[in-house]
């Protein structure tokens, strides 16, 4: 492991250990008991697969961040930690309505370290939900992230501006924009599916 990655891993270990319960972050985690899928917290949207790699896409302001925020808020209110990797530093934490701040781990690594840091968090087994915001195109790293989510038994969200059909996602949700209190989305379940089933969902907590 190169020195930069050792530093990042040390920081991740310290941050994770500071959370209540002090879970241990490692690359060879012992798998926890199989968990159930996570409620989306949005009326009209199905549960999030766990474990699973989920792609959320949409332009900034489309409501894409509000797709994962209700589930994150619910988990933290239940005492579970949630991790967010934000290499561009765009997330506005006060916009995360209902989220327990002491249960949120927010990382802002350099863009080239974002996928690797996310992989460590996802496979650690410490977080039921991990979010990676606006990464560079992931390429082969997408397959590693999928395996990390399986090992760590977590729901791993990749949030992109546009759909990346090369990402091995088990579910894709594209935010199409708001209509009053409702959010229009396109839902894709099959790899490479060109057209998504359109839904109107409610209860989104973020405007991003």
Q: Report the number of distinct structural domains present in the chain.
A: 1
Average pLDDT, rounded, for the chain: 83
In a domain, 10, yes or no: no
The structure tokens listed for 173 are 């949700």
DSSP for 142-193, please give it: HHHHHHHHHHHT-EEEEEESS--TTS--SEEEEEEEEETTEEEEEEE-STT-
In a domain, 15, yes or no: no
Q: What percent of the chain has pLDDT over 90?
A: 57
Q: Please give the backbone phi and psi of residue 57, each rounded to the nearest 5 degrees, phi first.
A: -135, 160
pLDDT of residue 97: 84
In a domain, 24, yes or no: no
In a domain, 21, yes or no: no
Q: Alpha helices of the chain — where are they, by DSSP H?
A: 3-17, 69-77, 111-123, 141-152
Q: Which residue, 129, 124, 6, is CA-closest to 68? A: 129
**Which residues does 167 contact at the CB level (< 8 Å), separation at least 6?**
53, 55, 138, 142, 158
In a domain, 26, yes or no: no
Tell me which of 22-26, 90-94, 160-164 is least confident: 22-26
Q: Which domain holds residue 50?
A: 34-202
In a domain, 41, yes or no: yes
pTM above 0.85, yes or no: no
Element (H, E) at 133: strand 129-133
What are the E-state strand segments in 33-73? 52-57
In a domain, 16, yes or no: no
The predicted-structure confidence for 28-72, as pLDDT tens digits, reads as follows: 433 334 458 999 999 989 899 999 999 999 998 888 888 999 999
CATH of the domain at 197: 3.40.50.300
Cα 27-32-38 angle, rounded to 5 deg: 105
**Which residues does 113 contact at the CB level (< 8 Å), separation at least 6?**
4, 5, 8, 87
């Amino acid at each position: 492991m190169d020195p930069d990655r050792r530093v990042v891993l040390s920081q991740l270990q310290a941050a994770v250990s500071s959370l209540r319960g002090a879970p241990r972050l490692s690359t060879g985690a012992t798998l926890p008991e199989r968990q159930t899928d996570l409620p989306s917290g949005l009326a009209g949207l199905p549960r999030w697969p766990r474990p699973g790699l989920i792609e959320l896409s949409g332009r900034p302001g489309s409501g894409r961040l509000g797709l994962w925020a209700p589930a994150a808020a619910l988990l933290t209110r239940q005492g579970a930690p949630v991790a967010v990797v934000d290499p561009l530093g765009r997330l506005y934490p006060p916009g995360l309505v209902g989220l327990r701040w002491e249960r949120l781990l927010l990382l802002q690594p350099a863009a080239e370290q974002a996928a690797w840091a996310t992989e460590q968090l996802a496979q650690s087994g410490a977080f039921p939900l991990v979010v990676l915001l606006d990464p560079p195109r992931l390429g082969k790293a997408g397959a590693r992230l999928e395996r990390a989510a399986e090992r760590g038994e977590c729901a791993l969200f990749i949030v992109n501006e546009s759909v990346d059909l090369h990402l091995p996602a088990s579910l894709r949700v594209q935010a199409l924009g708001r209509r009053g209190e409702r959010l229009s989305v396109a839902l894709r379940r099959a790899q490479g599916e060109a057209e998504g089933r359109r839904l109107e969902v409610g209860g989104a907590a973020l405007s991003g």
